[in-house]
Structure 1
């Protein structure tokens, strides 16, 4: 409780400075990669964010492959009729589908890393905020990036009505 900021008053026998490890859920950590990509102002920043997913030994996709394989191994020993099918399906997902995702994202990451270019629609704030602003951290003096209009939908196919 102390680790999360609560005041704790207890008997000396129960009082300890030991803090158990607390693990954050993986989902928000992976979602943070998406947030980094949304905020990336250069191809290098985007490539760095993708590296967390695509790293060969400690990337998220490698860990996901381990999870799929471990789940397949678990199903191999369960003994019901559907279990070998589930195990094969999980291995197939790891070997085929996840491999395609990892390969495509790795290639995208490498192409971004080789560009070394700013994103044309994004920039880091370099402007000075007036000292009279009360919410200095919430106000940026830079002009907003230009908005791009979404592409129009493709024309609808028209044919003879019956």
Structure 2
């Protein structure tokens, strides 16, 4: 990871008076969002800002919390004097990291049954991850129903559309994939688990395991020779 990605600045802009955070990698951006900052993506730059409608004290508390979280995560933060803090809050494992462990299980899987088990956590109809996302979208839509602004009803309809159409397609496709793998009961031909056991019939006792040799790749044929052109 480049050292520059471990460095951020959090300052109050002298012109706009906004509290802005710049720099950092994608993990730092997640920490900023969890502290309350809002990402801004422009054509030539991206940064994070404090939410609108906060008074100066609230902005300072938000920035101080971001500095504490970032420094606890090992980032170097250059900030206004009023945002500095020695507090280093403990970092809990985010829910997304727990879900990402399913991807690691699939990367390490050697059989279709193992992948089907991992996908079950996503596709289980009652308490799977995608079912929970459906509940989150629906709850957020219900929240917007009573907010009162003109755009809120449209946002609620949009959220329900995402749940009923887009998320439904993902759930259906993954559930089909999971069920097909569960019926297959096959090892992955390109992955195997080394038992480090030498079979009894092995004559070469120097062998360390019974794993088959890796597949040989056919050599690439050289390109055909190009005939020289006669200069005139």
Alignment TM class, shorter chain as reference? 0.5 to 0.7
The answer as to 2:143 corresponding to 1:80 is no
Q: TM-score, normalised by structure 1?
A: 0.66
The answer as to 2:162 corresponding to 1:93 is yes
Aligned residues: 118
The answer as to 2:176 corresponding to 1:107 is yes
Matches within 5 A, 1:45-56: 45-56=114-125
Task: Extract unaligned runs of 5+ from structure 2.
Answer: 1-90, 198-207, 219-232
Q: TM-score, normalised by structure 2?
A: 0.47
Query: C-alpha root-mean-square deviation of aligned residues, in Å?
Result: 2.5
**Higher RCO (Cα < 8 Å, 6 or more apart):** 1
The answer as to 2:135 corresponding to 1:66 is yes
**CA distance 1:58–1:147, shift in 2 (3 Å):** farther
User: Which structure has greater strand proportion?
Assistant: 2
Matches within 5 A, 1:2-151: 24-127=93-196, 146=215
Map Cα deviations across residues 45-72 of structure 1 (whole Å, 9 max, x no partner).
0000000000011100000000000000
Structure of higher CA gyration radius: 2
**How much has 1:144 moved relative to structure 2?**
7.5
Task: Extract unaligned runs of 5+ from structure 1.
Answer: 1-21, 129-139, 150-162
Moved over 6 A (4+): none
